């Protein structure tokens, strides 16, 4: 497997998804 | 008063049942309730400022607390009895003392109850937390319990927080996905991140603090029915240890029991990273299991328990049935390094992992 095939990675994914998701 | 006590374990009598030196038999707990044994767990019991690691056993209608007498012996100290609905599973709640939860039901969970360890050893203290059509439940860090309930059109995902006295301090709801949530898993080291698996082969991610549903990630149909036993985040990816559904059993020489998958939460793309397979010549599929730190244990359909070191990537120990009785469940103790293995007739074997 190659995890680089999973697209752009963000170390702050939790904070970013929380700011994007509906409240 | 007649006190039920454990038998002293005789490790030499069980040497032939082990083909690994990684497990050392410490003790055997024998339940005298006569009903079918269903689950085992460990919990902390604090009394007069002294915290002890205790074992909880569950038979169909009786849950028992076993207190340590010394390093090798436990004494059944207290029992809770249930009359109408049998016990399905023990639900340990991390970060709490003197409290354990149980799920009651026949095929599906009908009730969640908190069992409180009484100070006077007499009063049977239990609190009904929730009743109805409960699909999944899990204990979380920071004294929390999460459950999914109701029908798909009206699904509730509820988080309860326990107070010091065992009562409920606070309740709040998480945004439900449009699929039934069948299991939960907390992300290690991320106290506000919760994962759920759904009946439609999806992984859902919540923010526990705000209740937001952050993402729904569809994973391959071949993972259908898998339970997430451990989850952690590393370098921007989510890694999940799932049991392998083994749908293609027989088509491959490899017999996978657990698998590691990686998910990019930003893109929802995911990939299988590693399979944890049975050693050559071993038969069986995953029945039930438990993961703690980097060790995974599974009861196989063959009746044997197999253990993997997830870092090494291979099976490190096999524990065949003892006294011609298949194993029916296995749990890692949350309070020490013990492996708790149970048989249907009520025997619980305590192993130390060396």
> Do the chains contact at A13 and B236, CB–CB below 8 Å?
yes
From A9, which residue of chain B is nearest by alpha-carbon distance? B236
pLDDT higher than 80, residue B162: yes
The answer to whether the beta carbons of residues B340 and B41 sit under 8 Å apart is yes
Beta-bridge partners for B259: B242, B275
> Do the chains contact at A6 and B270, CB–CB below 8 Å?
yes
Query: Burial of B195 by CB count in 10 Å (0-12 exposed, 13-18 middle, 19+ buried)?
Result: buried
pLDDT digits (tens, 9 = 90+) for B136-161: 999 999 999 999 999 988 999 999 99
A4 reaches B (C-beta below 8 A): no
> What does the pLDDT read at residue B18?
38
Beta-bridge partners for B230: B241
Please give the ipTM for the structure prediction.
0.95
B20-24 long-range contacts (CB < 8 A, ≥24 apart) are B20/B307, B20/B316, B20/B317, B20/B318, B20/B319, B21/B354, B22/B307, B22/B316, B22/B317, B22/B353, B22/B354, B23/B307, B23/B317, B23/B319, B23/B339, B23/B351, B23/B352, B23/B353, B23/B354, B24/B351, B24/B352, B24/B354
> What does the pLDDT read at residue B123?
62
Q: Which residue has the higher pLDDT, B158 or B221?
A: B158
Structure tokens at B302: 């063959």
> Do the chains contact at A1 and B269, CB–CB below 8 Å?
no
Beta-bridge partners for B67: B75
The answer to whether the beta carbons of residues A7 and B279 sit under 8 Å apart is no
- Rounded CA separation B200/B189 (Å): 27
Q: How crowded is the C-beta side of B262, counted as CA atoms within 13 Å?
A: 16
Q: Which residue in B237, B239, B263, B268 has the most chain A C-beta atoms within 10 A of its own C-beta, making it the best mutation to test that interface?
A: B237
Q: Which residue has the higher pLDDT, B49 or B111?
A: B111
Q: How confident is the model at residue B251 (pLDDT cuts 50, 70, 90)?
A: low
> What does the pLDDT read at residue B287?
95
Between the two ends of chain B, the Cα-to-Cα distance in Å is 37
Q: How confident is the model at residue B289 (pLDDT cuts 50, 70, 90)?
A: very high
Share of residues in chain B with pLDDT > 90 (%): 73
- Rounded CA separation B152/B177 (Å): 9
- Rounded CA separation B177/B213 (Å): 7
- Rounded CA separation B327/B321 (Å): 6
What is the arithmetic mean of pLDDT over B288-302?
96
Contacts of B204 in chain A (CB under 8 A): none
- Of the candidates B261, B245, B249, B352, which has an alpha carbon nearest to the alpha carbon of residue B298? B245
> What does the pLDDT read at residue B124?
66
Count contacts between A and B (CB, < 8 Å): 68
Q: How confident is the model at residue B246 (pLDDT cuts 50, 70, 90)?
A: confident
pLDDT digits (tens, 9 = 90+) for B174-196: 999 999 999 999 999 999 999 99
Question: Residue A7: which residues within 8 A CB-CB, separation 6 or more?
Answer: B264, B266, B267, B269
Q: Which residue in B217, B271, B272 has the most chain A C-beta atoms within 10 A of its own C-beta, making it the best mutation to test that interface?
A: B271
Lowest-confidence range among B9-23, B161-175, B270-284? B9-23
Q: What is the rounded average pLDDT for all residues in chain B?
A: 89
pLDDT digits (tens, 9 = 90+) for B71-111: 889 999 889 999 999 999 999 999 899 999 999 999 999 99
pLDDT higher than 70, residue B17: no
> What does the pLDDT read at residue A1?
58
Contacts of A16 in chain B (CB under 8 A): 266
> What does the pLDDT read at residue B254?
80
């Amino acid at each position: 497997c190659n995890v680089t095939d999973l697209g752009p990675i963000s170390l702050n994914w939790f904070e970013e998804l929380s700011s994007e998701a509906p409240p | 008063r007649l006190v039920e006590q454990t038998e002293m374990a005789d490790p030499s009598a069980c040497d032939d049942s082990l083909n690994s030196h990684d497990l050392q038999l410490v003790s055997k707990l024998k339940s005298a309730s006569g009903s079918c044994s269903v689950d085992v767990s460990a919990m902390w019991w604090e009394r007069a400022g002294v915290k002890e690691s205790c074992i909880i056993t569950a038979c169909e209608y009786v849950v028992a607390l076993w207190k340590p007498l010394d390093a090798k012996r436990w004494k059944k100290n207290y029992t809770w009895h249930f009359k109408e609905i049998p016990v399905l599973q023990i639900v340990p709640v991390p970060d709490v003392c003197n409290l354990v939860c149980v799920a009651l039901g026949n095929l599906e969970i009908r009730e969640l109850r908190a069992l409180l360890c009484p100070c006077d050893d007499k009063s049977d203290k239990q609190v009904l937390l929730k009743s109805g059509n409960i699909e999944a439940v899990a204990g979380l860090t920071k004294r929390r319990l999460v459950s999914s309930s109701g029908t798909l059109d009206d699904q509730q995902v509820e988080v309860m927080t326990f107070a010091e006295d065992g009562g409920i301090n606070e309740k709040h709801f998480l945004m439900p996905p449009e699929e039934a949530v069948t299991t939960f898993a907390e992300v290690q080291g991320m106290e506000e991140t919760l994962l759920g698996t759904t009946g439609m082969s999806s992984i859902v991610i919540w923010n526990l603090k705000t209740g937001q549903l952050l993402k729904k990630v569809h994973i391959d149909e071949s993972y259908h029915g898998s339970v997430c036993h451990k989850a952690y985040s590393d370098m921007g990816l989510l890694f999940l240890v799932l049991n392998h559904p083994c749908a293609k059993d027989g088509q491959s020489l490899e017999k996978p029991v657990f698998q590691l998958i990686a998910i990019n939460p930003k893109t929802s793309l995911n990939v299988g990273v590693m399979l944890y397979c049975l050693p050559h010549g071993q038969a069986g599929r995953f029945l039930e299991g438990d993961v703690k730190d980097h060790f995974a244990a599974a009861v196989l359909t063959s009746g044997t328990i197999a253990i993997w070191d997830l870092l090494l990537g291979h099976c490190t120990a096999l524990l065949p049935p003892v006294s011609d009785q298949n194993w029916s469940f296995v749990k890692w103790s949350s309070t020490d390094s013990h492996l708790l293995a149970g048989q249907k007739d009520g025997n619980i074997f305590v192993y130390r992992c060396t």
